[in-house]
Amino acid sequence: MLTETTTRLVARFTDAVSRATDTAPTEVVISLREVSARLVMEGGQVLLVPALPAGRLSSRDGGVRRQPGQRGHHVVMAFRDLFGVDRPPVVLITGGNKGLGLETGRQLAQRGLVIVVGSRDLDRGRDAAASLDGLGPGATAVQLDVTDPASVASAGDAVRDQLGRLDVLINNAGIIVEARPTEVTAEQMRPVFETNVFGPATVTTAMLPLLAASPHPRIVNVTSTTGSLTLTANGADFGGTPETRMAYAPSKAALTMLTLQYARAFAAAEDLRHIKVNAVTPGYTATDLNHGAGRRTVEQGAQVIVAMATIDDDGPSGSFVNHAGTVPW
Ligand code: NAP
């Protein structure tokens, strides 16, 4: 969505630059108060390469090239003109430090969103945010354990204080605890429900005031096909083993229902009606969650998360989808 707008606008303005300077620019640096972006022309295509917080641009990053005779032009544009929005949207991804969460951050950064990596270990979160540096308008990390309300509250404060807004929340953090069906205990199931169900509820409640203030807020709950009652009743093969699903699948069914409840509640509340909340499933994806046994790549798995994080205003709310479309409840 942003890329198309960017491409169109940049094409228009690189024309203007060529006319003004008599040379076709191969590179354009956008420098704004909040964000800088470098656009590279390749084979007639405009690529948005890195977009770094303005203060961090250096000539080493290929940012500032003002000297005559060098490639590139230093051009200042209003963010609204460049992206069609006032400022880049901000997304918070829980469990954003690895696996599908990190890949979702990578794909959303490339679409021009500011990434907030929620990570229960701040150092791992910072490493993940650093790995996204240069892909989009910026990435930062907050300490966020979805099972710890104090951690969730401080993460919300950090987002508000550092970025001043939140447009997209991705409830991605999730765990599996293996339990033999014949011996399962509440102790085995509890942490799974704490992380996969109560966690998204805690985070959503904490972020709701920021989301409600956004013009186009989106919540994506990363659930699982194993949480589909219909597919399970019909004997679908989800991969994995009965042990991996004993606590996990019921927790994901609960998360899917939680999504529906939010969708109905938001639709009924005047100040929350603009929030779209959807459940997505990435499919059986090779990550640490299944010790790499998944059949899909994280690049493939993250696509549906990204798609629902960036749906436009006439997109659905209260849906349950995967890469192929609607998933049965
Ligand atoms: P992963 O590589 O194991 O990543 C899970 C992420 O969740 C990690 O960042 C982990 O942080 C984080 N996390 C776990 N407990 C947390 C907590 N209490 N607070 C904050 N973060 C926590 O697994 P993944 O496959 O990417 O899973 C991402 C989501 O996709 C999960 O909700 C999962 O259920 C869902 N999903 C996955 C598949 C699949 O086949 N992989 C299929 C369907 C749905 P640490 O690094 O600190 O452990």
Where among 83, 114, 130 does a domain terminate?
83
Statement to judge: residues 159 and 50 lie in one domain: no
pTM, two decimals, is 0.80
CB atoms near residue 18 (< 10 Å): 13
Same domain, 145 and 46: no
Domain count, the chain: 2
| Any domain includes 228 | yes
Q: Are 133 and 94 in the same domain?
A: yes
Within 6 A (CB) of ligand 1 lie 94-95, 97-101, 120-121, 124, 144-147, 172-175, 195, 199, 222, 224, 281-282, 284-285, 287-290, 294
- Residues 219 and 70 occupy one common structural domain: no
Q: 43 CA distance to ligand 1 centroid (A)?
A: 39
Range of the domain at 61: 2-8+20-83
Q: Is residue 15 part of a domain?
A: no
DSSP 8-state symbol, 194:
I
Are 107 and 72 found together in one domain? no
Q: 78 and 110 share a domain?
A: no
Same domain assignment for residues 79 and 99: no
The enclosing domain of 131 has a CATH number of 3.40.50.720
Alpha-carbon distances, residue 326 vs 100, 156, 200, 217, 282 (angstroms): 20, 31, 22, 21, 12
* Same domain (yes/no): 126, 38: no
Per-position pLDDT tens, the chain of length 329: 344 545 555 565 556 555 545 555 455 555 433 344 555 444 444 444 444 443 333 333 333 333 333 344 444 343 444 444 457 899 999 999 999 999 999 999 999 999 999 999 999 999 999 999 889 889 999 999 999 999 999 999 999 998 989 999 999 999 999 999 999 999 999 999 999 999 999 999 999 999 999 999 999 999 999 999 999 999 999 988 999 999 999 999 999 999 999 999 999 999 999 999 999 999 999 999 999 999 999 999 999 999 999 999 999 999 999 999 999 99
Q: Do the beta carbons of residue 15 and residue 88 sit within 8 Å?
A: no
Please confirm, yes or no, whether 262 is among the known catalytic residues.
Answer: no
Indicate whether 299 belongs to any domain. Answer: yes
